[in-house]
Structure 1
Amino acid sequence: MKQASSFEKVAARCWNLLNEGKPFTPIFVVGTMSLFYFSVLLQDAVSFFISFLVILPLLILYYLYDFPLFLRNYLWIPFIAYLMIWQQYSLSLLLFAAGLYFFFTILFWGTLYYHLRIGTSWLNFTRFWKLVLKNSDSTSGNAQEQLPKFLLILSLWSFYFEEVRVSGLSAITVDLMTLLLFYGALFVFTFILHRYLFDWKPKVIPTYTEDEAPSKPLSDKVVVIVVDGMRKERFEEAKTPFLDKLRKEGTDYAQMETVYPARTVVCFTSMFTGTYPFEHGIKSNMVWKLGIKVESIFDSLRKVNKKGRMLAVAHLVDSMGKDVETFTAVMNKDQADRNIIERAKQVMKEQDPDLFIVQLIGTDQIGHSRGVLYNEYIEKIEEADALIEEYVKWLEKEGKMDNTTLVICADHGQADGIGGHGHLDEGERYVPFFVHGPHIEKGKVVNEKQSLVSLAPTIAYLLGAPYPSHSRGRVLKEAIRKEEQH
């Protein structure tokens, strides 16, 4: 299995500009206006730029605020207000924009992109259009969020572009008070929505990890297998005999909560630093500044001369840097997890890390490309079960499981539509999470709500390492046999 090349890492970052909803909106709006007014733009670029400045506050507003889940319904109110106040719009421009949007999401992304990257059918568009309309996450494929945003911005921009071309700057000064009142009301409206209606984020643990560390390591190794994007109730529906066995013979956390926003790079970073996006600095899959602002579990292990490795997609290099052993994400959806497990065997044999984290991506890929409520998604979870069984038995054969703690979990679940995750909709908030090993309580179920930020300090506790510098999670001591706690 190939490592992710330098080109793939750069390409992944570029793709995130189009995949993540926040950067997509300005890119799409500027691109649409440039195409629609191409011939006019060549003759009067100054008016194009001046009128662009008029809509800049809108772009800033929509970058700062998420409008997650049902709040996106309120995005239509500013567009309706625009129509009532200015009473002008270009139907041809708006239809052109809608056509471009659905061409990008359904045909380019949902069909061509996924066919070339993971081998989905050329007919994937026959399902993907439904996923785009239902999608609830923070990507560009969230039609219910993106449509009212770009319809408003394009309408306002085209209006002033035409006006400035005819009347110059005076066209703006005449309407300046109306424009200022409109933007002022919109900012107040947005602030109120997010202040009083956006109240479902997971609670942040206010203090740093205070658990007393053990005098010596409990485990020789910790192996964490993250089934990316595994929705909890779909996991319960799947036939997973090996994972069920591990869960019953270990400790199961029935209410393990992911972090906000529930995006892969954000979740992994929080899981292995023990803290939240406001502190470690990774706030979406689009990482503007590479690296984290705090210590990771890998840094903690280095302090006690131990080694950790993460086998993961190229995205995670943006956060964890050289501690990530990458694999290419450009491979057939039916081969991805099989290739990852083979590579995991190779890494364990050649590098023998004390902490080894393996990301399986097949479940997440099929959720994004085919949806989570279909049989293909269940089949990927069942495939992951068989591959994890194969890997654990290989570890046993190699003598790597004698004093090893095994953690099986997901980084986030997935909601309806394009496997939505980010805004914490139904299906993405709580994830499967269970621990198995010689020092772990057997047959125990913990029903109290826990957070994935507890994973890093728990690993540190098991391996006898200091907690990462900004770890806020609590050690999951319920899972550790009482006679071995210190």
Structure 2
Amino acid sequence: MEQVKKASKFEKTAARCWNLLNEGKPFTPIFVIGTFILYTMSDWTALFSSLLLVIPLFVLYYIYDFPLFLRNYLWLPFVAYVIMFKTVNIPLLLFAMGLYFFFTIFFWGTFYYHLRIGTSWLNFTRFWKLVLKNSDSTSGNAQEQMPKFLLLLSVWYYYFERFASGNMELQWQQLVLFYGCVIVYTVVLHRYLFDWKPKPIDTYTSNMAIGEALSEKVVVIVIDGMRKDRFEAADTPYLDYLRKNGTEYTNMETVYPARTVVCFSSMFTGTYSFEHGIKSNMVWSLGVKVESIFDSLRKIGKRGKMLAVAHLVDAFGTDVETYTAVMKNDIVDAQIMKKAKQIMDEQDPDLFIVQLISTDQTGHSRGVLYDEYLQKIHEADQHVKDFIEHLEQTGKAENTTFIICADHGQADGIGGHGHLDEGERIVPFFMYGANVKGGIRVEERHSLVSVAPTIAYMLGAPYPSHSRGPVLAEGVVRK
């Protein structure tokens, strides 16, 4: 088997650029402006003049998500526009829908996934259904993106025609009234209906006093995007053995928004996006804004290392050793674990975090309610077994605490995750090994922000500066 390659500078840049098209917030203005320019391609003065009148609507849709069932309310402003303005450009709207489905179903769901992870050229035969069902606020959520871009294009074209024809009677009162109603409508919806975010812990970690290190090492294996109920349905004999002989947290909650970079940032700082500053996979300002568990370990002369995909460098910088995500999905996890063994053998970090990505990528490209997804969870089970057995054979598992978890679940459709739809919120989580109680099931609700303080406690390091999660004391054997 070939040696796994690091993510190149080009791949890191490409990953950031792709997030502009993947994340719903930047996608909407990029798609609408690109579509309008392609459709009109004339009278640039009228185009840019009319664009200025649509900016308030762009800003509104950038500030406010319409996740989950709130997306159903997006059609009302479009209906109100038709009633008030009494005109739509049908060819423009059909052109936009054609471009949208070409981008999501063929470019993203087929061409992109074939080149990056080796999916079939026929993936579009399933991906169109996943786009229509997707509930997450990404570009691949047709039920959210369509009413947004149809309204934006309609309002824009209405005023473009007037500027192009020289009709400067713009009916300001009508525009102000329409925008005012849409803004009030949006604010009221989000004030009274957007109520499913987990409540943040309002105090800093204090339930356990830091003392001598309990474990020599902590190893965290994150099976990215492993949905809990599908994990329960999959064939996972080794993971079942670990959780039954360790401590399992059956109600471990991820953070909001449940994006990979946000989740990892919260897991390894112990706090939430309002403090660590990472609010989506699109990271505008690099680096978490608070201490991480890596910083805590450095204070006592210990070292941590994360083996992960390129975009986690945006949060944790040089503490991340990357691997390329441009690899066939059938072999990527095996390659990751081969590199993980090498890092443990050669670098011997005190904390080692490994991200497996094949399960997540299968959910995104093929859906979570199919056998392929269960197969990837089974393969992850075997990779974890092979890795831990390697540590046992090399003597590195003797006084090591293992944490096995997912960073988030995945919803139906294109395996969306972010706004805590069914299947996203509660994730598999269990600890095993040195200084962990065996045969314990903890039913009480906990949060992934407890990961960093628990690691700090096990390794005798100070808690990260803004750590809010309590140490997972129910599973710890105290000396």
TM-score bucket of the superposed structures, by smaller chain: over 0.9
Letter in structure 1 aligned against 2:25? K
Matches within 5 A, 1:224-243: 224-243=220-239
Q: What SS does structure 2 have at the residue aligned with 1:373?
A: coil
Instruction: Give CA deviations for 1:240-274 in whole Å, capped at 9, x if unaligned.
Output: 01000000010000000000110000000000000
Runs of 5+ unmatched residues, structure 1: none
Counterpart in the other structure of 1:416: 412
- 2:145 is the alignment partner of 1:123: no
Percent same amino acid among aligned pairs? 69
Contact 1:24–1:140 (CA under 8 A) maintained in structure 2: yes
With normalisation by structure 2, the TM-score equals: 0.99
Instruction: Give CA deviations for 1:171-228 in whole Å, capped at 9, x if unaligned.
Output: 33xx111111111111111111111101110110011111332320001000000000
- 2:255 is the alignment partner of 1:252: no
2:385 to 377, 389, 397: 389
Contact 1:228–1:363 (CA under 8 A) maintained in structure 2: yes
Instruction: Give CA deviations for 1:410-443 in whole Å, capped at 9, x if unaligned.
Output: 0000000000100100001100000011211110
What RMSD over aligned residues (CA atoms) do the two structures have, in Å? 0.7
Runs of 5+ unmatched residues, structure 2: none
Contact 1:230–1:431 (CA under 8 A) maintained in structure 2: yes
- What is the rounded CA distance, in whole Å, between the counterparts of 1:171 and 1:361 in structure 2? 56
Counterpart in the other structure of 1:35: 38
- What is the rounded CA distance, in whole Å, between the counterparts of 1:466 and 1:411 in structure 2? 23
Q: What SS does structure 1 have at the residue aligned with 2:26?
A: helix
Letter in structure 2 aligned against 1:471? S
Letter in structure 1 aligned against 2:112? Y
Letter in structure 1 aligned against 2:116? R
Q: What SS does structure 1 have at the residue aligned with 2:430?
A: strand
Counterpart in the other structure of 2:14: 11
Q: What SS does structure 1 have at the residue aligned with 2:361?
A: helix
Counterpart in the other structure of 2:108: 109
- What is the rounded CA distance, in whole Å, between the counterparts of 2:344 and 2:446 in structure 1? 30
- What is the rounded CA distance, in whole Å, between the counterparts of 2:169 and 2:376 in structure 1? 58
- What is the rounded CA distance, in whole Å, between the counterparts of 1:212 and 1:390 in structure 2? 34
Matches within 5 A, 1:368-407: 368-407=364-403
- 2:137 is the alignment partner of 1:141: no
The size of the alignment, in residue pairs, is: 476
- What is the rounded CA distance, in whole Å, between the counterparts of 2:53 and 2:444 in structure 1? 50
Q: What SS does structure 1 have at the residue aligned with 2:284?
A: coil
Q: What SS does structure 1 have at the residue aligned with 2:169?
A: helix
1:177 to 173, 176, 183: 173
- What is the rounded CA distance, in whole Å, between the counterparts of 2:75 and 2:210 in structure 1? 55
Structure 1 runs of 4+ with >6 Å offset? none
- What is the rounded CA distance, in whole Å, between the counterparts of 1:211 and 1:308 in structure 2? 24
Counterpart in the other structure of 2:445: 449
- What is the rounded CA distance, in whole Å, between the counterparts of 1:138 and 1:302 in structure 2? 37
Contact 1:164–1:171 (CA under 8 A) maintained in structure 2: no
- What is the rounded CA distance, in whole Å, between the counterparts of 2:455 and 2:208 in structure 1? 14
Counterpart in the other structure of 2:466: 470
Give the drift of 1:167: 2.5
- 2:204 is the alignment partner of 1:208: yes
Letter in structure 2 aligned against 1:25? T
- What is the rounded CA distance, in whole Å, between the counterparts of 1:214 and 1:11 in structure 2? 42
Counterpart in the other structure of 1:75: 74
1:426 to 419, 422, 433: 422
Contact 1:373–1:416 (CA under 8 A) maintained in structure 2: yes
- 2:357 is the alignment partner of 1:354: no
With normalisation by structure 1, the TM-score equals: 0.97
